[in-house]
Amino acid sequence: MNGSAKDDRSVSLVVFAVAGRAGELRRTLEALKRAGATFAQKVFSLDGHDPECCALAQNEGFDHILVSYTRAGYFASIQRAFALVSRPFFFWLEDDWEIRGWPPAGLTVDMLAASPRLAQVRLQKDEKVSLKDMNMGMARDDVVLSNYLYHLHPHFGRTDLMRCFCADLAFHAGIKGHNIEDALTEWTRGRGFFYGMVLGREPYCKHIGTSSSIPPGQRHYHDVWAGEEIDACTQEDAEESLRKRKLPSRLKYANDRHDLRAGRRLCALVRDALLCTIAFPGILLALPFSARPRTFIREMSKYWFRR
């Protein structure tokens, strides 16, 4: 991490990405490399199927690359990733943030280790820091404290804390549908945690993405878990899923088609109907022996007959 051998052993990099945003992801990973950061472990979690995003992660040597071949939502990506994080602290990075600088060696991890109620130390992203983000004063000359919001822009955090959040199914059942950032804030603040931000002469990071860069009709996947059932995810579950994903999917489900626009919808419907007609005899023959045709029919139905 920050040039310290001790920190290198204690911090995992966790990168979250959304299918269809390979351009932003490329800029994010290149900027992180320029910052000279190194980590003991690197985990990449992609919501949706995007070969270009996967190739970028492979080129950067991630230890674990997790892919949802159909969109599962942001929370599912978080839950799956932290089942594989093996270091006590992590650095959180999403696919649309550019790292402009790096904190002094050891500062962030040392603060987390010394303050058990400090949930995160995030990087400054604005020229001027808001009063809400420093309402608990200064911890030192270059770190401010707040109990206002658990921010999801680039930050260092506690792995055990994030795992406890992911496993609290009773809390999620009551708050399902909320923004993930708000849910994390309510959960941590209710347990007496607060938040820190490390300041620099210039902002350490910059947001390079917008909501509009998420594929049309899929914004709800990014912020909330969208009514999906939440299941406990253990390390064994995640590793088994990872082994299964090494085989490429032979079916491209209809709800993975991020490039459909209203003007192309009729053409796509005609093409899909023609393909289904040609494949119908084979599907009938395969139904008793494989779950794949049934899954394909179900996903096609959900796509074309959704409201």
**Cα 236 to Cα 151: distance, rounded to the nearest angstrom:** 29
Q: Measured in whole angstroms, how far is the alpha carbon of residue 298 from the centre of its chain? A: 26
Cα angle 83, 10, 3; round to 5: 135
Contacts (Cβ under 8 Å, ≥6 apart) of 13:
32, 37, 39, 41, 42, 43, 90, 91, 93
The better pLDDT of the pair 152, 243 is held by 152
Q: Considering only the C-alpha atoms of the chain, give the largest distance between any 2 of them, rounded to a whole number of Å.
A: 72
Q: Is 261 helix (H, G, I), strand (E, B) or coil?
A: coil
CA dihedral 295, 296, 298, 300 (to 10 degrees): 160
Q: Which domains does the chain have, with CATH numbers?
A: 5-240 (3.90.550.10), 250-304 (no CATH)
Q: What is the pLDDT of residue 176?
A: 65
pLDDT of residue 305: 55
Q: How far is Cα 126 from Cα 109, in angstroms, rounded to an integer? A: 22
pLDDT of residue 1: 42
pTM of the model: 0.71
The chain-wide mean pLDDT, for the chain, equals: 78
pLDDT for res 145: 95
Report the percent of the chain where pLDDT is more than 70: 70
Q: What angle do CA 56, 228, 57 make, to 5 degrees?
A: 5
Is the pLDDT at 19 greater than 60? The verdict is yes
Give residue 182's pLDDT: 85
- What share of the chain in percent tops pLDDT 90? 43
pLDDT for residue 258: 36
